Amino acid sequence: MNAMAQDGRAAVWAVVDSDIGPLLLAATDEGLVTVGFHATDTVRDKALDRLGSRLGTEPVHTPDSPLLTEPMRELGEYFAGERHDFGLPLDWSLVTGFNRQVLRELASGVPYGAVVGYGDLARRVGSPGAAQAVGLAMGANPLPIVVPCHRVVESDGGIGGFGGGLETKRHLLALEGVLPQPLF
């Protein structure tokens, strides 16, 4: 396969360094479609195979693609503490139904430096009692950091789970001033 899907959408990817380790970024002509944590060769290859299967096209390694320029810049600014809101176009094609509804609410309704409980987020989308389903939606989020699932915590004050690992979640929450910066 080439970089063009049957519907004409290009899919490109690159790995960028960040304060939390290498991130896999993938984009289509619709916008950023994937942010993947811990993008070692093995993790990256598995994620790209899954992404290619879902998009119907093989993503092409194109680190200088204009489709990735803005995501790279905005993520760099975020990690430098200079950006609190992302203005990126997003390709939501990997998310449907309840998960899409929850992730869109999270992206628009939980600002930098704030947190929300799983149950509170479920109520916001009209599904009180669906806290576990919200947790599953967070775990399936293809756009972490940009769609800030790290800002979703347990109602009893616990940090909750995180696909990128708890240390990554703590780092992101500390960056946003929610948790104190580690001493070491």
User: Which residues are marked as active site?
Assistant: 149
Count CB atoms within 10 A of the CB of residue 181: 9
Residue the block writes with tokens 């995180």: 162
DSSP helix/strand/coil, 79: helix
Burial pattern 83-107, b for ≥16 Cβ within 10 A else e, equals: eeebebebbbbbbeebbebbbebbb
> What values do phi and psi take at 24, rounded to 5?
-90, 125
* Spatial CB neighbours of 80, under 8 Å, sequence gap ≥ 6: none
Is the four-CA dihedral 109, 98, 11, 29 of positive or negative sign? negative
Alpha-carbon dihedral sign for residues 110, 111, 117, 118? positive
